[in-house]
């Protein structure tokens, strides 16, 4: 595990950004995390700048978003595994870990 994954920020604004960047590393995380938290982007920006007081329930919501994304990731991994197996059987081939880069 990366050390940065263990270093949870002390302030709520930092935790929001930390979770969002972890879940959405390809960018546009502000819009996605705001939607996940059920708040507007302008409210999110105020929270990230520290202009809004710490809100109760945000940390719980972040935990729920993480759990939902983890569950979706597991489900997707299973689907990909099943599809890969069907494909390799159809093609008469297998992919091994050494083939994957």
Which residue in the block uniquely carries the two structure tokens 């992919």? Answer: 95
**Separation between Cα atoms, residue 87 and residue 53, nearest integer Å:** 52
| Range(s) of the domain holding residue 73 | 3-99
- Token pair of 96, please? 């091994």
Q: Exposure pattern of 16-27 as b/e (b: 16+ CB <10 Å)?
A: bbbbbeebbeee
Residue 1 has pLDDT above 50, yes or no: no
Number of domains in the chain: 1
Residue 99: predicted pLDDT:
60
HSE at residue 94, side-chain half, CA atoms within 13 A, is 3
The answer to whether the CB of 16 falls within 8 A of the CB of 25 is: no
Among candidate residues 23, 45, 49, the one with its CA nearest the CA of residue 34: 45
Per-residue model confidence as pLDDT tens digits over 39-85: 999 999 988 988 777 777 899 999 999 999 999 999 999 999 999 88
């Amino acid at each position: 595990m990366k050390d940065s994954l263990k270093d949870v920020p002390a302030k709520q604004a930092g935790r929001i950004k930390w979770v969002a960047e972890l879940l959405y590393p390809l960018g546009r995380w502000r819009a996605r995390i705001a939607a996940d938290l059920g708040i507007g982007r302008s409210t999110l920006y105020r929270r990230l700048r520290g202009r809004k007081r710490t809100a109760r329930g945000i940390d719980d919501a972040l935990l729920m978003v993480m759990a939902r994304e983890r569950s979706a990731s597991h489900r997707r991994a299973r689907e990909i595994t099943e599809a890969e197996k069907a494909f390799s059987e159809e093609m008469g081939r297998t992919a091994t870990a050494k083939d994957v880069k």
